[in-house]
């Protein structure tokens, strides 16, 4: 490859952080290796990527696509029209931008974009984050040249000849965390206190929020502090419910932009088990308690979490038991440094820190 040539790439997909952040990690790595590359994102109007991608310094175009609901609902009636319209627009974007390759990271927008690109003969690659195949990626599997996955056994869903087991792309700054004291300062936390980081995935998690909100009395008895991401949907409600809580013990945020510092500040982490969170936590290597979301296709978060609990690399509390059991389990872990050490060592063994580089080298080989 001529490293000076201004190659052009489209990255497409989104809907949740679990699709957007891997795309950003891939884009950053392409730019690092090919500083002259031109990169365009294609997302879905009104979705999270329309905000997060420009914040990261990339251009994005929004298609008028919406998802098809897995259940039978009237909302699906408008789906064919939105899809046709999006396919038309995607074709125009691809023809104008003339990418050398197109990368799909799952989520609605990648469907029309990769469809249009592959019809025009442009090489396409899929990155599937989960241990099962998303609807859009299944729809695209015949059209693409390469598929990068993070779990074994994905030949159940995709042609084995196209599969590459690379792991999920992680943002670079998570590979080398800042020091604890700097992280503590940036969240205005007390360096002398044990810290629990509470995450609900990119959108926030009602059950995890309730597990704290309903147990403030037991939290107040513990000598620790909580850095807590509530999620956009629940933030205002949680703030009102915490009006009287100890503001020093609880740092309540809607969304954490500096995840590197959040991970660095944490002694233990409570989190949903979305695929990207899991991949990040393997690299971060801290003790984790998963509360998998029960509201996702094929219960895949439980499978994500079990892949770790089986290796004694994390603890798990089910969504149904979380309000009762989560905080007691967290305090037990916070006091058990031996268990923490064992979990940290085991989770680290599962990390795939080279995922992004490997994916980018597959993209480059594809266009050579
Ligand atoms: C409810 C739902 O549909 N969840 C899916 C979604 O999860 P979700 O979007 O929650 O994605 P993940 O858990 O995979 O990743 C969350 C990402 O958001 C980041 N983050 C999170 C909180 C925060 O305050 N700041 C921040 O930057 C994390 O560091 C991580 O990079 O996509 C995942 C990957 O396809 C799936 O496995 C999940 O099942």
Instruction: Determine whether 70 is exposed, middle or buried from the number of CB atoms within 10 Å of its CB (0-12, 13-18, 19+).
Output: exposed
| Domain identity same for 47 and 163 | yes
- How far apart CA 293 and CA 211 sit, in angstroms, is 14
Residue 80: the pLDDT is 80
For Cα atoms 32, 38, 40, give the angle at the middle one, nearest 5 degrees: 110
CA of 92 to the centre of ligand 1 (A): 30
- How far apart CA 157 and CA 138 sit, in angstroms, is 7
Residue 74: the pLDDT is 65
Residue 109, token pair as written in the block:
């927008």
Q: Is 223 a domain residue?
A: yes
Q: Is 3 a domain residue?
A: no
ipTM score of complex: 0.97
* 3-class DSSP state of 212: helix
Place of tokens 């932009």: 257
Q: Can you spell out the DSSP letters for 68-104?
A: PPSS--GGGGGHHHHHHHHHHHHHHHHHHH--SEEEE
Residue 70: the pLDDT is 62
| Domain identity same for 94 and 243 | no
**Domain of residue 50, CATH code:** 3.40.50.2000
CA of 140 to the centre of ligand 1 (A): 22
| Domain identity same for 115 and 95 | yes
196 touches 270 (CB < 8 A) = yes
Q: Is 1 a domain residue?
A: no
Substitution site in 202, 251, 261, 270 for ligand 1 pocket (most atoms within 8 Å of beta carbon): 202
Place of tokens 């290597």: 285
Q: Is 2 a domain residue?
A: no
Residue 67: the pLDDT is 67
- How far apart CA 11 and CA 97 sit, in angstroms, is 12
pLDDT below 70 — which residues of the chain? Answer: 67-72, 74
314 is in an annotated binding site: no
- How far apart CA 171 and CA 188 sit, in angstroms, is 24
| Domain identity same for 75 and 203 | no
Residue 137: the pLDDT is 92
The number of folded domains in the chain is: 2
Substitution site in 14, 18, 105 for ligand 1 pocket (most atoms within 8 Å of beta carbon): 18
| Domain identity same for 213 and 278 | yes
- The total of other beta-carbon atoms located within 10 Å of residue 78's CB is 10
Q: Where are the beta strands (DSSP E) in the chain?
A: 8-12, 38-44, 59-63, 101-104, 124-128, 146-149, 163-165, 194-198, 224-229, 250-253, 268-271, 288-290, 315-316
| Domain identity same for 345 and 359 | no
CA of 119 to the centre of ligand 1 (A): 31
Chain segment 216-228, per-residue pLDDT in tens: 999 999 999 999 9
Place of tokens 């098809």: 68
| Domain identity same for 231 and 332 | yes
Q: Is 293 a domain residue?
A: yes
In ligand 1, the atom with minimum distance to the C-alpha of 254 is: 24
Residue 301: the pLDDT is 95
| Domain identity same for 102 and 116 | yes
User: For ligand 1, which residues put their CB under 6 angstroms from it?
Assistant: 16-19, 21, 106, 129-130, 199, 201-203, 229, 255-256, 259, 272, 274-277, 280, 293, 296, 301
Chain segment 57-80, per-residue pLDDT in tens: 999 999 998 766 666 676 777 778
* 3-class DSSP state of 343: helix
Q: Is 132 a domain residue?
A: yes
Q: Can you spell out the DSSP letters for 26-48?
A: HHHHHHHH-TT-EEEEEEETTST
Q: Cα 333 from chain centroid?
A: 25
In ligand 1, the atom with minimum distance to the C-alpha of 106 is: 35
Range of the domain at 156: 8-169+353-367
Q: Is 313 a domain residue?
A: yes
Q: Is 100 a domain residue?
A: yes
Residue 234: the pLDDT is 95
| Domain identity same for 202 and 164 | no
| Domain identity same for 73 and 136 | yes
| Domain identity same for 182 and 161 | no
Q: Which residues contact 331 (CB under 8 A, 6 or more apart)?
A: 218, 222, 224
| Domain identity same for 98 and 203 | no
Q: Can you spell out the DSSP letters for 159-205?
A: -GGGEEE------GGGTSPPPHHHHHHHTT--TTSEEEEE--TTT--
């Amino acid at each position: 490859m001529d490293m000076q040539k201004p190659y052009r790439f489209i990255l497409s997909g989104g809907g949740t952080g679990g699709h957007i952040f891997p795309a950003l990690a891939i884009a950053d790595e392409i730019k690092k290796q090919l500083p002259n590359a031109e990169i365009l994102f294609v997302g879905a109007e009104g979705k999270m990527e329309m905000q997060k991608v420009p914040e990261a310094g990339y251009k994005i175009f929004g298609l008028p696509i919406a998802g098809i609901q897995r259940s039978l609902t009237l909302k699906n009636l408008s789906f064919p029209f939105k899809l046709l319209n999006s396919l038309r627009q995607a074709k125009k974007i691809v023809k104008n931008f003339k990418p050398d390759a197109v990368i799909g990271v799952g989520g609605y927008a990648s469907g029309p974009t990769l469809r249009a690109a592959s019809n025009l003969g442009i090489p396409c690659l899929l990155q599937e984050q989960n241990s099962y195949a998303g609807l859009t990626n299944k729809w695209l599997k015949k059209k693409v040249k390469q598929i990068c996955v993070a779990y074994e056994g994905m030949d159940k869903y995709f042609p084995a000849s196209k599969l590459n087991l690379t792991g999920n792309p992680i943002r670079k700054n998570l590979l080398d965390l800042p020091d604890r004291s700097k992280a503590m300062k940036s969240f205005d936390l007390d360096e002398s206190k044990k810290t629990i980081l509470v995450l609900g995935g990119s959108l926030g998690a009602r059950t995890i929020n309730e597990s704290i909100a309903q147990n403030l009395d037991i939290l107040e008895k513990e000598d620790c502090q909580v850095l807590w991401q509530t999620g956009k949907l629940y933030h205002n409600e949680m703030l009102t419910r915490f009006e009287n809580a100890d503001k020093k013990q609880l740092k309540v945020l809607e969304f954490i932009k500096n995840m590197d510092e959040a991970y660095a500040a944490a002694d233990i982490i409570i989190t949903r088990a979305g695929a990207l969170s899991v991949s990040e936590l393997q690299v971060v290597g801290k003790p984790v308690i998963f509360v998998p979301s029960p509201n996702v296709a094929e219960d895949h978060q439980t499978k994500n979490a079990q892949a770790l609990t089986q290796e004694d690399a994390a603890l798990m509390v089910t969504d149904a038991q979380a309000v009762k059991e989560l905080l007691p389990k967290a305090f037990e872990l916070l006091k058990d440094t031996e268990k923490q050490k064992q979990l940290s060592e085991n989770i680290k063994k599962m990390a795939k820190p080279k995922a992004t580089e490997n994916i980018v080298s597959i993209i480059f080989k594809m266009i050579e």
